[in-house]
Amino acid sequence: MRQNNMLAMILAGGRGTRLYDLTSKIAKPAVYYGGKYRIIDFPLSNCANSDVDVVGVLTQYESVLLNSYVARDHRWGLDAKDSGVFVLPPREKDSGFGLYRGTADAITQNIDFIDQFNPEYVLILSGDHIYKMDYAKMLAHHKANNADLTIAVLEVPMKEASRFGIMNTDETDRIVEFEEKPAQPKSNLASMGIYIFNWNLLRDSLIRDEANDASAHDFGKNIIPEFLDTDKRVYAWKFDGYWKDVGTISSLWEANMDLLDTANGLDLSDNSWKIYTEDVATTPQFITEDAEVENSLINQGCVIAGEVKNSVIFTDVTIEKGAEVKDSVVMPNVVIEEGAEVRRVIIAEGVRIGKGVKLGSKDGEIELIAQDRL
Partner 1 sequence: MLDALGIVSFENDGILVEGLMKYRPIPAISFLGRYRLIDFVMSNMTNSGVSNLKVFVKKQPRSLIEHLGTGRHYNINSKRGKLQILYGESNELTTGIYNHDINAYVQNMQFIEDSKEKYVIIAPGYVVNAMNYADVLDAHIANGADITVVYKQVDNADKAYLGCNALALDGNRVGAIATNMGQEKVRNISLDTYVMSRQLFMDLVNQAAEISSLYTFKDVLSSSVSTLRVEGYEYKGYCACINSLERYYEANMELTDYKVAKELFNREWPIHTRTNDSAPTYYGKDAEVENSVIANGCRIEGEVENCIIGRGVTISKGCKIKDSIILPETFVGEDTVIKHAVVDKKVIIQNVKQIVGDDERLVYIKRRDRI
Closest separation in Å from C-beta 49 to partner 1: 11
Q: Which residue, 1 or 291, has its beta carbon nearer to partner 1? A: 291
- Given the DSSP bridges, would you call strands 37-38 and 32-33 parallel, antiparallel or unpaired? antiparallel
Q: Which of residues 60-99 bind partner 1 (CB under 8 A)?
A: 74
Taking a C-beta distance cutoff of 8 angstroms, is the pair 224, 234 a contact?
A: yes
- Regarding 49 and contact with partner 1 (CB under 8 A), the answer is no
Q: Which of 166, 298, 329, 353 binds partner 1 (CB under 8 A)?
A: 298
| Span near partner 1 by CB under 8 A; candidates 6-14, 92-100, 198-206, 292-300 | 292-300
For residue 43, give the H/E element and its range: helix 41-49
Q: Which of 312, 325, 351, 366 binds partner 1 (CB under 8 A)?
A: 312
Best CA proximity match to 374, nearest among 338, 322, 333: 338
Question: For 261, what's the count of Cα atoms within 13 Å in the CB-facing half-sphere?
Answer: 10
Q: Which of residues 258-277 bind partner 1 (CB under 8 A)?
A: 260, 262, 268-269, 271, 274-277
Rounded to an integer, what distance in angstroms lies between the CA atom of residue 238 and that of residue 154? 6
Q: Which of residues 26-45 bind partner 1 (CB under 8 A)?
A: 34-36
Amino acid at 100: Y
| Span near partner 1 by CB under 8 A; candidates 107-115, 184-192, 299-307, 355-363 | 299-307
- Regarding 288 and contact with partner 1 (CB under 8 A), the answer is yes
The residue count for binding partner 1 (CB under 8 A) is: 38
**What is the CA angle 136-137-138, rounded to 5?**
90
Best CA proximity match to 348, nearest among 51, 21, 8, 69: 21
Best CA proximity match to 99, nearest among 15, 187, 191, 221: 15
| Span near partner 1 by CB under 8 A; candidates 7-15, 123-131, 199-207, 307-315 | 307-315
Binding site for partner 1 (CB under 8 A): 34-36, 74, 260, 262, 268-269, 271, 274-277, 279, 281-289, 291-300, 303, 305, 308, 312-313
